[in-house]
Amino acid sequence: MNLTLPFEVLQHSPAGFDYPTDSFCDLIPQYEQAMRRECLGKPLWDFLVSKLNPYPETWTEWDASVEYSIGDVVVRNLCTYISTANTNTTDPLATGSSWNKFERFNHAGANKLWTGYLRQIMAYKVFVASLTTTTYRSGAGGMTINVGDGTGVRAVNKQEFLTNLTQYNGIIEMTTVNMNEWLRDNYETEGLPLPACVGNCDVPINRSRRIAFR
């Protein structure tokens, strides 16, 4: 069972609301398996899976014309909320509304790990992995980049490509190091299994690749 869902990648990475998610379902299990193997370890990962609060099979965007009941789940601005009242017509984004954020786990320590670190790491990893194939296309004319000014595509600027990847990988590395520190200091008091990465969590290493640019 995956911890990360496609809409969470959209919400917690630089992807815009209209970013194509076609590749997310293939990438998420691969990157989660790597995170389990290289960083968190199987005992901690299996513990997180066992504490999941499964999302309902169906949920809808919040509708101001609907009266919601206790336990109803809606999505508002890509965030998921659960109703705490019957005949609930309040806006989940409003102060004092009758909604709570839908927590991913039924364990306080797992939620802290998820919301503080792991969710963003996974979102960025999947986003970065999809970014190249989504933005850049290769064909008979070489590699091109999609542009939003109505002209279609233009030749790739190598510096743009490398600058973006460097920035995003830097965020992944920083958050992974921060998560490792938090786990080392808090896993016992938060009731979490011993993470495999305590004191030795792998972080991304930028390796040069041969890329042909026009």
Say if residue 33 is in the same domain as residue 115: yes
The reply to whether 64 and 161 lie within a common domain is: no
- Specify if 159 maps to a domain: yes
More confident of the two residues 5 and 107: 107
pLDDT at 3: 92
Q: What is the Cα–Cα distance from 103 to 119, expressed in whole angstroms?
A: 12
Mark whether 30 and 116 lie in a shared domain: yes
CA triplet 193, 56, 116: central angle to 5 degrees? Answer: 40
209 pLDDT more than 70: no
Note the pTM of the prediction, 2 decimals: 0.72
155 and 59 together in one domain = no
Count up the domains in the chain and report the number: 2
DSSP state of 207: -
Give 15-67 pLDDT, tens digit per residue: 877 888 888 988 999 999 999 998 899 999 999 999 999 877 777 889 999 99
Specify whether 58 is located in the same domain as 110: no
Same domain, residue pair 114 and 179:
yes
Quote the tokens at residue 154: 């233009």
Burial 11-31 (b: 16+ CB within 10 A, else e): bbbebeeeeebeebeebbeeb
Range of the domain at 22: 6-52+106-186
Is 211 inside a domain boundary? Answer: no
Phi and psi angles of residue 76, each rounded to the nearest 5 degrees, phi first: -135, 120
- Residue 198 pLDDT > 80: no
pLDDT (tens digit, 9 = 90+) per residue, 102-160?
A: 899 999 999 999 999 999 999 999 998 887 777 665 666 665 666 655 556 665 567 87
Same domain, residue pair 131 and 47:
yes
pLDDT in tens, 88-105: 999 999 999 999 988 999
User: In whole angstroms, what is the distance from residue 45 CA to residue 49 CA?
Assistant: 6
Q: Tell whether 152 is covered by a domain.
A: yes
- Both tokens of 38, joined, read 């290289």
Question: Do both 38 and 20 map to the same domain?
Answer: yes
**Distance set, CA 169 to CA 13, 104, 128 (Å):** 12, 25, 8
Task: Please give the Cα distance from 77 to 80 (Å, whole number).
Answer: 8
Q: Report the pLDDT averaged over residues 175-186.
A: 90
171 versus 210: the higher-pLDDT residue is 171
114 in any annotated domain? yes
pLDDT of residue 75: 87
Check whether residue 87 and residue 37 sit in a common domain. Answer: no
**At 182, is the secondary structure helix, strand, or coil?**
helix
Tell whether 208 is covered by a domain. no
Is there a domain that residue 214 lies in?
A: no
Strands 60-61, 142-146: pairing kind? unpaired
- 74 and 163 together in one domain: no
